[in-house]
Amino acid sequence: MAGDALRLHQQRIPTGDRPRRLAEPVLGRQSGNTYNPRLNCRYSVINASGCRRTPYRVRLEAHHHPQLGFPWCNTRSSMPAYHPAQIEPKWQAFWEQRQTFRTPELPHGEKLYVLDMFPYPSGDGLHVGHPEGYTATDIVCRYARMQGKSVLHPMGFDAFGLPAEEHAIRTNTPPRVSTERNIANFCRQLKMLGFSYDWQRQLATTDVAYFRWTQWIFLVLFDTWYDAQAGRGRPIAELPIPPEVAQQGLAAVRLFQDEHRLAYQGEALVNWCPALGTVLANEEVVDGKSERGGHLVERRPLRQWMLRITAYADRLEQDLEQLNWSDSIKKLQSDWIGRSTGAEVDFFIGPTSGFPAWQAQRQVSGFPRRADEDVLRVYTTRPDTLFGATYMVIAPEHPFVERLTTKQQKEAVQQYRAKAAAKSDRERTDLVKEKTGVFTGSYAINPVNGQPVPIWVADYVLISYGTGAIMAVPAHDTRDFEFARQFDLKVIAVVDPGPPRGEGLDREAVLAGESCFAELGTAVNSGPYDGLTTAEFKARITHDLAETGLGREAVNYKLRDWLFSRQRFWGEPFPILHELDEQGQPNGLLRAVDPQDLPVNLPHLDDYQPHGRPEPPLMKAPEAWLYPVIDGQRYLRETNTMPQWAGSCWYYLRFIDPANEACFVDPVKERAWMPVDLYVGGAEHAVLHLLYARFWHKVLYDRGYVSTSEPFRRLVNQGMILGEMEYTGYRTGTGNWVGAQHVGKNADGLLVDKRRGDPVTEESVSADAVVRSSETLVLADDPAIRIDSRAFKMSKSRGNVVNPDQIVHDYGADALRLYEMFMGPLEATKPWSMDGVRGVAKFLDRAWRMIVEERAESLALSTAVRDCEPTSEQNRVIHTAIKDITRDLDHLQFNTAIARMMEFVNFFTKESTRPRVAMESFVLLLAPFAPHIAEELWQSLGHSDTLAYEPWPVFNEELTRSQTIEVPVQVGKKVRAKITVPANATSEQLEAAARTNEKIAAILAGVDIEKVIVVPGRLVNFQVK
RNA sequence: GCGAGAGUGGCGGAAUUGGCAGACGCGCUGGACUUAGGAUCCAGUGCCGCAAGGCGUGCAGGUUCAAAUCCUGUCUCUCGCACCA
């Protein structure tokens, strides 16, 4: 079969037919010339003589050089070692036909579920970053299959999303059309890379049969409330209804239930993006601009669907512990959840004369669940600094602002509020250094000492965190300190830092209120609490506050409830109906679509153009869709759609049972395959997707639909692949080049020549122009100029994007896979290098020629490959290769595994006899990495079936050891000699051998030996006086 | 500012976790193959030095017979977060 393929490319040309040039190309060393004629199948090779030394002749056939732009040909070439373009499609077809990677419904024996983060099928096709993680998981899966495990390795597409929507708006065609086209392209590219997915399980979040179950899970969320006491989600029917609510009738009960569901509607200050015509989640807004497109975002109150993820905050944080994720990702999640403990404290804001009565009243009634009208409630993590609270600040959006503002201050406060509202988040955070605010004119009373404290409005306090109000302790909080400095407010120190421990801490200044100290210390100026340490004080005062009804222990999270609705037309519709009153207006009561009536399909729209109002585009849907009639009753459909995250929250479950029409996943299969054993993807999903998916999973777990509390047991983040290294120098306006050593940034952040102050610009330098001097890279024609080399993110605008199609065309999929794994550690950020690709392509050539007879007319085994016993040295190479590669695979260290294979090939190409068993072991070791060439070689070694399920080679520890080893001998710190000893030499033997070594003996003669350290198998060290 | 990670040849990166620093690959130098080289093969390649030898894992100390690895301090870079009370 392969022979046929090869023969196509072989034609005899008459002996003596001299090669000719068709053109006179001036081919110097073209840097950046990536063209590889060996894989261009438009020329052919013949076997001219059969003599190894005689070069092969190429039949001349002009082909257009894609970069040099003129016809050019090789006049002589070695025979192309192998043709990836022939082999790879052949084996891809083989696997597909035979369904080699079809996964059983249920695992036999040990199971392994390996998941890739499924891609968004963009119109640009696959990026080289995708195959990085996908190759890694593919290697793990192929390796696991050879170890006899049942492997679930699926692929799908996260296909709802804005680009398809934008395309629809541009072209006024349904987004499904472009989405399906993009999916087809992605599939083609993924298959071209030879990944061993079970394609039978392919899914897209946009499939009606898929989002039907996304909607179904939404209904589960809708049907669940969080029982804080039990610490789990329960059916809404089990929600206790307070009697006073029950008395008010059914509608009141339903509203009460709606308030407690995990999916609820709430008036939220949302991020409305006029340019995109939609509301965005906090996570999708970066610096006050939309993450996608960078459009300005404004804050508006709107009624939106929310998911009560905050109810699960504690569990989401605590369960991180049991996961095999990198510490940095865990920490990212943990910070995002942002749990903090402290206390809530009420400051009395009624008339001063009423304070004692209020205090006494509180003593009796205790701390109310909801803050009264006459108090300002604050949250603090440092209740121990309560005595130092010299003023209070409320957020500009705080509901009490108006009440607390006195007549005199009214105008100033109103102006300030208006200004704060107009400010984008970006502006608010940009000027972090400069605090702004305005006095309300009112005072509150500090509950611990009865002192009046002024209440200010300032935008450094956020309405969305804690209670939207703070007690300010300028002596012990840097932000409060800055604010107090700005407005000349009182500073009272209540924490003594103690004797100076490090530099930069002036205890006297702290105690005098001239410096801020935000760490732990000992209490002062705190009445009865003086002398307590911060920790003791915290515990004591929290207890005392609770006793006197003035405060209570409290926990707060940075995490907010998840804004779950979008005003888009390319997303999952909500399976929710609004009840209508007599006038045909929604009456505020909701009805869930009956699960049997799912899916709620997307309606056909005639017109995709946005109207710029924060009203969902699905309001333009046909009447029949918008106003369904059920049981004789007319309803309004919910016209918001779910965010793109929805579909990716549970796709790993659907892969287990993708065709099930009766339920979202069969419980038996779910128990058999879950959890995901290895999940690989980019770090950009460290918080959002991974947090959302865990949240949904926990709800499903609470409701008994899944068997594990966490979905992803092990998570690995692949590093980013940067573009090819670029060289830059600096040039002045007059065109002169300046050495990097003279360039710096001036006060305005501009690049200037530091000597003269002239502005300079960074310019790219062609790699040709760069040469190496002994110390630095320099510009070839001017050794005085240093060049910086740097790699950048791939981007269209920079023009450094590498296209996987091109690499596969030039070097083959195996080379691409191998290169991406060889670049460096999976998790590291690393730059692309075309030369590196050529390097691994060369390795594949060599591996091929190690086994296959390259000179033969048809494919045949190399004559060096024989059925014979390996020599002991060969055995050592074979068995250490197996040992090392196996270990590296277990640790996902693919780069070193490939290095070991290269060593194997380097060794065996020099051997004139290559035992067949060695070659077979090698091919099996290579198979997970470069499966196409491995299958082809396996076939040429005489096997008819795929190697995908061949047992993984085993090594014999005995055979990995060589008989003699070389051991360094040190005198002092220096290695002075190396001795060759039997591998099992004892300490005594080693020392003796070292002493008798000529060189060592000479050095040791006449010196006092203080101590001799011998590490058997490692070294001998003589310590001398 | 806070947090995390990383600094090793000309470059990407190795180093069994304290035991010969620089595996493997790229690049470069020289050679072979009766012209040519972007094929292939061979040799060399951390730096200085003709050599003997010396110096070398950002920098400065420390522990140890022995440090890229452990400790202290410090500098630089990358990535997150960024008024979260």
Q: Is the pLDDT of residue A749 over 70?
A: no
What was the pLDDT predicted at A169? Answer: 86
Higher-pLDDT residue of A655, A865: A655
pLDDT band at A856 (very low <50, low <70, confident <90, very high): low
Q: Is the pLDDT of residue A589 over 60?
A: yes
Q: State pLDDT tens for residues A259-288.
A: 999 999 987 777 777 777 777 766 667 666
Q: What does A898-946 look like in DSSP terms, one character per residue? A: HHHHHHHHHHHHH-S-EEHHHHHHHHHHHTTTSHHHHHHHHHHTT--S-
d(CA A768, CA A848): 33
Q: Residue A910 CB closer than 7 angstroms to strand B? A: yes
What integer is the mean pLDDT of A975-988?
Answer: 80
C-beta of residue A926 within 8 angstroms of C-beta of residue A978: no
> Which of A10, A1, A8 has its CA nearest to residue A856?
A10
What was the pLDDT predicted at A716? Answer: 92
Q: Is the pLDDT of residue A28 over 50?
A: no
Looking at residue A294, what DSSP letter applies?
Answer: T
d(CA A572, CA A560): 23
What was the pLDDT predicted at A282? Answer: 66
Q: Which residues pair with A347 in a beta bridge?
A: A376
Tokens of A57: 């002749």
> Which of A413, A387, A570 has its CA nearest to residue A490?
A387
C-beta of residue A121 within 8 angstroms of C-beta of residue A159: yes
**% of residues, chain A, pLDDT over 70:** 86
Nucleotide nearest to A383 (CA to C1'): B85
Q: What does A337-400 look like in DSSP terms, one character per residue? A: HT-EEEEEEEEE-S-GGGHHHHHHHHHHH---SS--TTEEEEEES-GGGGGG--EEEE-TT-TT
d(CA A399, CA A370): 14
Q: Is the pLDDT of residue A737 over 50?
A: yes
pLDDT band at A391 (very low <50, low <70, confident <90, very high): very high
CB atoms within 10 A of CB A257: 18
What integer is the mean pLDDT of A937-958?
Answer: 93
Contacts for A329 with CB less than 8 Å, ≥ 6 apart: A683, A686, A690, A715, A717
Tokens of A294: 């960078």
d(CA A879, CA A876): 5
Q: Residue A332 CB closer than 7 angstroms to strand B? A: yes
Tokens of A278: 């939609």
Can you tell me which residue has its alpha carbon closest to the C1' of nucleotide B38? Answer: A36
What was the pLDDT predicted at A347? Answer: 93
Q: Is the pLDDT of residue A553 over 70?
A: yes
Contacts for A170 with CB less than 8 Å, ≥ 6 apart: none
Q: Residue A36 CB closer than 7 angstroms to strand B? A: yes
What was the pLDDT predicted at A1? Answer: 25
d(CA A717, CA A209): 30
What was the pLDDT predicted at A747? Answer: 65
Assign A101 to helix, strand or coil: coil
Nucleotide nearest to A428 (CA to C1'): B83
What integer is the mean pLDDT of A910-938?
Answer: 94
Q: Straight-line distance from CA A838 to C1' B38, in Å?
A: 11
What was the pLDDT predicted at A500? Answer: 61
CB atoms within 10 A of CB A426: 15
On the 0-12 / 13-18 / 19+ scale of CB atoms within 10 A, A407 is: exposed
Return left, alpha or beta for A799; rule: phi > 0 is left, psi -120 to 50 is alpha, else beta: left
What was the pLDDT predicted at A58? Answer: 31
Higher-pLDDT residue of A203, A861: A203
Nucleotide nearest to A436 (CA to C1'): B83
What was the pLDDT predicted at A734? Answer: 79
Q: Residue A968 CB closer than 7 angstroms to strand B? A: yes
- Using the CB atoms, write b or e for A378-392: b if 16+ within 10 Å: bbbebbbbbbbbbbb
C-beta of residue A877 within 8 angstroms of C-beta of residue A959: no
Q: What are the C-alpha distances in Å from A453 to residues A310, A348, A391?
A: 33, 10, 5
Q: Is the pLDDT of residue A308 over 80?
A: yes
What was the pLDDT predicted at A425? Answer: 55
What integer is the mean pLDDT of A727-742?
Answer: 75
> Which of A197, A186, A118 has its CA nearest to residue A156?
A118
What integer is the mean pLDDT of A319-345?
Answer: 89
Check residues 726 to 765 of chain A and report those whose beta carbon is under 7 Å from nucleic acid strand B: none
Higher-pLDDT residue of A698, A856: A698
C-beta of residue A169 within 8 angstroms of C-beta of residue A610: yes
d(CA A579, CA A593): 12
* Strand B positions within 7 A of protein Cβ atoms: 3-5, 10-15, 19-21, 23-28, 33-42, 47-48, 54, 65-67, 78-85
**The three-state (H, E, C) secondary structure of A628-686, written as one string:** CEECCEEEEECCCECCCHHHHCCHHHHCCCCCCCCCCCCHHHHHHHCCECEEEEEHHHC
What integer is the mean pLDDT of A372-389?
Answer: 90
Strand A340-348 versus strand A576-580 pairing type: unpaired
User: Average pLDDT of chain A?
Assistant: 83
What was the pLDDT predicted at A46? Answer: 27
CA gyration radius, chain A? 36
Nucleotide nearest to A343 (CA to C1'): B85
> Which of A993, A966, A992 has its CA nearest to residue A980?
A966
What integer is the mean pLDDT of A648-670?
Answer: 96
**% of residues, chain A, pLDDT over 90:** 46
Tell whether omega for the bond before A599 is within 30 degrees of 0, i.e. cis. Answer: yes
Check residues 938 to 967 of chain A and report those whose beta carbon is under 7 Å from nucleic acid strand B: 965-967
d(CA A699, CA A222): 11
CB atoms within 10 A of CB A490: 14
Assign A438 to helix, strand or coil: strand
Tokens of A249: 């009738």
Q: What does A814-850 look like in DSSP terms, one character per residue? A: HHHHHHHHHSS-TTS-EE--HHHHHHHHHHHHHHHHH
Can you tell me which residue has its alpha carbon closest to the C1' of nucleotide B5? Answer: A328
- CA geometry: angle at A449 spanning A447 and A455, to 5°? 60
Q: Is the pLDDT of residue A432 over 60?
A: no
Q: Residue A29 CB closer than 7 angstroms to strand B? A: yes
Q: Is the pLDDT of residue A730 over 80?
A: no
Q: Straight-line distance from CA A773 to C1' B29, in Å?
A: 15
Q: Is the pLDDT of residue A66 over 50?
A: no
Q: Residue A431 CB closer than 7 angstroms to strand B? A: yes
Tell whether omega for the bond before A675 is within 30 degrees of 0, i.e. cis. Answer: yes
What integer is the mean pLDDT of A189-203?
Answer: 96
pLDDT band at A60 (very low <50, low <70, confident <90, very high): very low
Q: Which residues pair with A299 in a beta bridge?
A: A271
Can you tell me which residue has its alpha carbon closest to the C1' of nucleotide B32? Answer: A53
Q: Is the pLDDT of residue A150 over 50?
A: yes
Q: Straight-line distance from CA A136 to C1' B37, in Å?
A: 36
Check residues 454 to 513 of chain A and report those whose beta carbon is under 7 Å from nucleic acid strand B: 459-462, 465-466, 468, 470, 477, 479
Higher-pLDDT residue of A330, A669: A669
Assign A265 to helix, strand or coil: strand
Q: State pLDDT tens for residues A606-636.
A: 888 877 777 788 888 899 999 999 888 999 9
Nucleotide nearest to A434 (CA to C1'): B83
Q: Is the pLDDT of residue A816 over 80?
A: yes
Q: Residue A789 CB closer than 7 angstroms to strand B? A: yes
Distance of CA A384 to the CA centre of its chain: 39
C-beta of residue A529 within 8 angstroms of C-beta of residue A540: yes
Q: Straight-line distance from CA A777 to C1' B79, in Å?
A: 27
Q: Residue A27 CB closer than 7 angstroms to strand B? A: yes
State ipTM: 0.94
> Which of A674, A676, A599, A671 has its CA nearest to residue A637?
A599
What was the pLDDT predicted at A78? Answer: 37
Return left, alpha or beta for A236; rule: phi > 0 is left, psi -120 to 50 is alpha, else beta: alpha
What was the pLDDT predicted at A782? Answer: 66
Element housing A73 (H / E): none
Q: Is the pLDDT of residue A69 over 50?
A: no
On the 0-12 / 13-18 / 19+ scale of CB atoms within 10 A, A102 is: exposed
**Sign of CA pseudo-dihedral A801, A804, A805, A811:** positive
What was the pLDDT predicted at A67? Answer: 35
Q: State pLDDT tens for residues A870-904.
A: 998 899 999 999 999 999 999 999 999 999 999 99
Q: Residue A432 CB closer than 7 angstroms to strand B? A: yes
Which of A18-27, A139-148, A845-854 has the least mean pLDDT? A18-27
